[in-house]
Chains A and B, each alone.
Chain A
Amino acid sequence: MTTVPITLPKNYLNQDYTLWSWLTTIDHKRIAWLYLVSITFFFFLGGAAATVMRLELATAPGDVVESETYNRLFSLHGIAMVWFFLVPSIPATLGNFLLPLMIGARDMAFPRLNLLSWYLYAIAGVFALTMVIAGGVDTGWTFYTPYSSLFANGQVVLAVVGIIVAGFSSILTGLNFIVTVHKMRAPGLTWMRLPLFVWAQYATAIIMVLATPVLAITLLMIALERILGIGIFDPKMGGDPVLFQHLFWFYSHPAVYIMILPGMGVVSEIITCFARKHIFGYDGMAFALLAIALIGFLVWGHHMFVAGQSVYASVVFSLLSFIVAVPSGIKVFNWAATLYKGSVSFETPMLYALGFVGLFTIGGLTGVTVASTAVDVHVHDTYFVIAHFHYIMVGGMVMAYFGGLHFWWPKMTGRMYPDVWGRIAAITIFIGFNLTFFPQFILGYLGMPRRYHTYPDEFELLNALSSAGASILAAGYLLPLAYLLYSLRWGPMAGPNPWDARGLEWTTPSPPPEHNFDRIPIVTQKPYAYDVPKRDSDPA
Chain B
Amino acid sequence: MTYQSAIPTRPDTLEQPASQFDSLAQQHQADTLGMWVFLASEILFFGGMFMAYTVYRTAFPAAFEAASGHLNLGLGGINTAILLTSSLTMTLADDAVVARNRRATAIWLALTALLGTIFLAIKGIEWREEFREQLAPLFGRPFVFPEPHTDQARLFFSFYFALTGLHALHLLIGVVLVLVMLIFTLRDAPHLDAKVIIAGLYWHLVDLIWVFVFPLLYLAARHG
A and B touch in the complex (CB under 8 A): yes
Contact residues of A with B, CB < 8 Å?
105-111, 113, 171, 174-176, 178-179, 182-185, 209-214, 216-218, 220-221, 224, 228-232, 236-240, 243, 247, 250, 515, 520
Q: A216-B45, A236-B151, A247-B51 are in contact. Are A183 and B40 (CB under 8 A)?
A: no
Interface 1/0 per residue, B104-132 and A, CB below 8 Å: 00000000000000000000000000000
Indicate which residue in B34, B47, B56 contacts A175 across the interface (CB closer than 8 Å).
Answer: B34
Q: Does B26 contact A (CB under 8 A)?
A: yes
- 24 A-B residue pairs with Cβ-Cβ distance under 8 Å, sorted by A, are A109-B21, A110-B30, A179-B34, A209-B41, A210-B44, A213-B44, A214-B45, A217-B45, A217-B48, A221-B49, A228-B139, A228-B161, A229-B137, A229-B140, A231-B137, A232-B155, A232-B158, A232-B159, A237-B155, A238-B56, A238-B60, A240-B55, A247-B52, A250-B48
> In the complex, are the beta carbons of B151 and A237 less than 8 A apart?
yes
The smallest beta-carbon distance between A492 and chain B, in angstroms, is 33
> In the complex, are the beta carbons of A217 and B151 less than 8 A apart?
no
**Chain A residue at minimum C-beta to C-beta distance from B137:** A230
> In the complex, are the beta carbons of B46 and A217 less than 8 A apart?
yes
Cα–Cα distance between A341 and B20 once the two chains are bound (Å) = 42
Q: Does B211 contact A (CB under 8 A)?
A: no
Indicate which residue in B19, B42, B154, B162 contacts A224 across the interface (CB closer than 8 Å).
Answer: B162
Q: Does B186 contact A (CB under 8 A)?
A: no
> In the complex, are the beta carbons of A237 and B152 less than 8 A apart?
yes
> In the complex, are the beta carbons of A179 and B37 less than 8 A apart?
yes
- The residues of A that contact B52 with a CB separation of less than 8 Å are 221, 232, 243, 247
- The residues of B that contact A239 with a CB separation of less than 8 Å are 56, 155
Q: Does B138 contact A (CB under 8 A)?
A: yes
Interface 1/0 per residue, B50-83 and A, CB below 8 Å: 0110011001100100000000000000000000
The smallest beta-carbon distance between B127 and chain A, in angstroms, is 13
Q: Does B189 contact A (CB under 8 A)?
A: no
The smallest beta-carbon distance between A363 and chain B, in angstroms, is 28
> In the complex, are the beta carbons of B152 and A175 less than 8 A apart?
no
Q: Does B164 contact A (CB under 8 A)?
A: no
Q: A217-B49, A224-B162, A247-B51 are in contact. Are A229 and B139 (CB under 8 A)?
A: yes
Indicate which residue in A107, A210, A212, A237 contacts B20 across the interface (CB closer than 8 Å).
Answer: A107
- The residues of A that contact B60 with a CB separation of less than 8 Å are 238
Interface 1/0 per residue, B1-28 and A, CB below 8 Å: 1000000000000000001111000100
> In the complex, are the beta carbons of B37 and A108 less than 8 A apart?
no
**Chain A residue at minimum C-beta to C-beta distance from B155:** A237
**Chain B residue at minimum C-beta to C-beta distance from A515:** B19
> In the complex, are the beta carbons of A230 and B49 less than 8 A apart?
no
Q: Does B33 contact A (CB under 8 A)?
A: yes
Q: Does B29 contact A (CB under 8 A)?
A: yes
Cα–Cα distance between A238 and B67 once the two chains are bound (Å) = 14
- Interchain residue pairs A-B with the least CB separation, the first 7: A230-B158, A217-B48, A213-B45, A107-B20, A183-B30, A213-B44, A237-B151
Interface 1/0 per residue, B138-154 and A, CB below 8 Å: 11100000000001101
Interface contacts beyond A110-B34, A175-B37, A236-B151: sample of 12 additional A-B pairs, CB < 8 Å, sorted by A: A107-B19, A109-B20, A113-B34, A176-B34, A179-B37, A210-B40, A229-B137, A231-B158, A232-B162, A237-B158, A238-B155, A520-B22
- The residues of B that contact A108 with a CB separation of less than 8 Å are 20
- The residues of A that contact B155 with a CB separation of less than 8 Å are 231-232, 237-239
- The residues of A that contact B63 with a CB separation of less than 8 Å are 238
The smallest beta-carbon distance between A127 and chain B, in angstroms, is 19
**Chain A residue at minimum C-beta to C-beta distance from B48:** A217
Cα–Cα distance between A247 and B47 once the two chains are bound (Å) = 10
The smallest beta-carbon distance between B43 and chain A, in angstroms, is 8
Q: A108-B20, A230-B158 are in contact. Are A183 and B33 (CB under 8 A)?
A: yes
> In the complex, are the beta carbons of B154 and A231 less than 8 A apart?
yes
- The residues of A that contact B19 with a CB separation of less than 8 Å are 106-107, 515
Cα–Cα distance between A220 and B34 once the two chains are bound (Å) = 24
**Chain A residue at minimum C-beta to C-beta distance from B1:** A185
**Chain A residue at minimum C-beta to C-beta distance from B161:** A230
- The residues of A that contact B42 with a CB separation of less than 8 Å are 213
The smallest beta-carbon distance between A282 and chain B, in angstroms, is 21
Cα–Cα distance between A224 and B44 once the two chains are bound (Å) = 18
Cα–Cα distance between A216 and B33 once the two chains are bound (Å) = 22
- The residues of B that contact A183 with a CB separation of less than 8 Å are 26, 29-30, 33
> In the complex, are the beta carbons of B158 and A209 less than 8 A apart?
no
Cα–Cα distance between A230 and B52 once the two chains are bound (Å) = 14
- The residues of A that contact B154 with a CB separation of less than 8 Å are 230-231, 237
Cα–Cα distance between A240 and B55 once the two chains are bound (Å) = 9
Give the one of A210, A232, A237, A238 with max B CB within 10 A: A237
- The residues of A that contact B30 with a CB separation of less than 8 Å are 109-110, 179, 182-184
Q: A109-B34, A179-B33, A214-B48 are in contact. Are A238 and B159 (CB under 8 A)?
A: no
**Chain A residue at minimum C-beta to C-beta distance from B46:** A217
- The residues of B that contact A520 with a CB separation of less than 8 Å are 22
- The residues of A that contact B22 with a CB separation of less than 8 Å are 520
Cα–Cα distance between A218 and B56 once the two chains are bound (Å) = 15
Give the one of B20, B60, B155 with max A CB within 10 A: B20
> In the complex, are the beta carbons of A238 and B151 less than 8 A apart?
yes
- The residues of B that contact A212 with a CB separation of less than 8 Å are 41
- The residues of A that contact B48 with a CB separation of less than 8 Å are 213-214, 216-218, 221, 247, 250
The smallest beta-carbon distance between B124 and chain A, in angstroms, is 17
**Chain B residue at minimum C-beta to C-beta distance from A172:** B38
Interface 1/0 per residue, B79-105 and A, CB below 8 Å: 000000000000000000000000000
- The residues of B that contact A220 with a CB separation of less than 8 Å are 166
Indicate which residue in A111, A213, A214, A230 contacts B138 across the interface (CB closer than 8 Å).
Answer: A230
